[in-house]
Every structure is written in C-alpha cells, then in structure tokens.
Amino acid sequence: MNPQVLEHQAEAEQWEAEQVLAWTWEQFGADASLASSFGAEDVVLIDLASRIGASFPTFTLDTDFLFPETYELISQLEERYELKVERLRPKLSPEEQAEHFGEALWQRHPDHCCGIRKIDPLKERLGSASAWITGIRREQSATRAHARKLEWDDKFGLVKLNPLADWSEGEIWAYIRSRRVPYNPLHDRSYPSIGCVHCTRAVLPDEDHRAGRWSGLAKTECGLHIIEPVTK
C-alpha cells in the first residue's frame, strides 16, 4: 500500500469532504483526477472542488450510450464551473462492437460490454494518474459499504479518494439545493442511479436505489467500485 495511505487513512476518516479534497490537491495537484458520471454525488464534488480552488482534471466515461439529459448536464457544468470535461471513449464504436460481438451485447454479456466501454478506457486513463476521486458513498450498496475516504486501489494501482463516503442521501440533496448546483433531471423522475440508456430504468418506491441498473440481472455494478471487506 502507498505510504501516504498508510500514514493518513485512519485520520482521513475524521476529515470533512472539503478537507479530503484539499489534502488531495496539496499532495497530488493535477495528478489527481475527478472521475464523474454526473450523478448527484458527482456534481457535489465538482462544486466542493471549485469552492476550495482545486482544479482537478475531470473526466467521464462516455460510453456513447448516455442519456441526453446527462450530456446536457455536462455542458451546463462546463459552463458554470469553467470546466473542460475529458470524455473517455471506447476503442470500438457502437457499430464496431455490434459487428464484433453481435447486437445488444449489454443484454447478453453485460460485464463484457462494461469492460469494453468503461473498464478498458478507465484503466488507460488512470495509468497516467497518481490518484483518483470518486463520489461513492457507503450507504449506496453492499459493495460500497466498506469504502474508506482514503484508500489504495489495488485494481488500478493508485490512491483512491472517496470524500463523500460517509454522506447520506439527504445530505447530498440538501447540499445541491442550498448551493443550487445543476443536476440531472432524471433524478426527479425516479432515477437515483443513472448509467447507460440500455441498462438503466426508473425505480419503484419500495426498490433499492440501484435496482434500476441492469434490471433483471444479478449484476449491480459495472466493476469500477467493487470493494471487498478488509480481512485481518
């Protein structure tokens, strides 16, 4: 594990989100990147970083299958925060993917589709970074329940920061409303978690917040943020 993580991991659990971001900027500067899918948590992070003057490079995984509302939100945030969002694209276009693997790969082999359109571009991007910042929260799902605010990412081989790990959904929305932060209007239409058009649906009132992702399949994560419990 990275020495900085070992030294500060326990301490970081007491830091506020702004402190996590400020420490990250001080330690890594522009070698730390903010990964954004432009969900509610991600727009909070963009606003927090702007408030403390941390100009982290911001990137998104543009799978070519994002909702129109997501693309529109990216443009709004770029204008408001004077950002230039880096859009990571798969090596295969949708047409090329269909030619190689057949139509609607996301239905037949969703892990393969996520690998092509998300994991591979992310691996390539993080190969040039020292740290990455995400908007994951512990209460989002069982696979995220053990996230630390500061940790070492074995999968991608760099420092990972989760400044909002201990925030509740209520705190996220209170921040968005108090700061008037732009957000995806799909959230108001029962889409708490928003991914690709083909693999995301609205959820019912009694469903888990991630029930709308890969509905009908055992899959609940694209593979970017699966965190195992720490064993001793």
Catalytic residues: 222
Q: What is the rounded distance in angstroms from the CA atom of residue 175 to the CA atom of residue 194?
A: 19
The Cα–Cα gap between 172 and 43 comes to 10
CA distances from 200 to 15, 97, 226 (A): 33, 20, 19
CB proximity list for 86: less than 8 A, separation 6 or greater: 57, 58, 59, 60, 125
Handedness of CA 20, 24, 25, 26 (dihedral sign): positive
Place of tokens 């201990």: 166
Q: Do 131 and 24 touch, CB atoms closer than 8 A? A: yes
Q: Residue 143: how many CA atoms within 13 Å on its side-chain side?
A: 11
In angstroms, the CA 225 to CA 45 distance is 17
Beta strands in 98-179 (DSSP E): 131-133, 150-153, 158-161
* Strands 58-61, 32-35: pairing kind: parallel
Residue owning tokens 């001793």? 232
- Which of 67, 58, 117, 128 lies closest to 93, judged by CA? 117
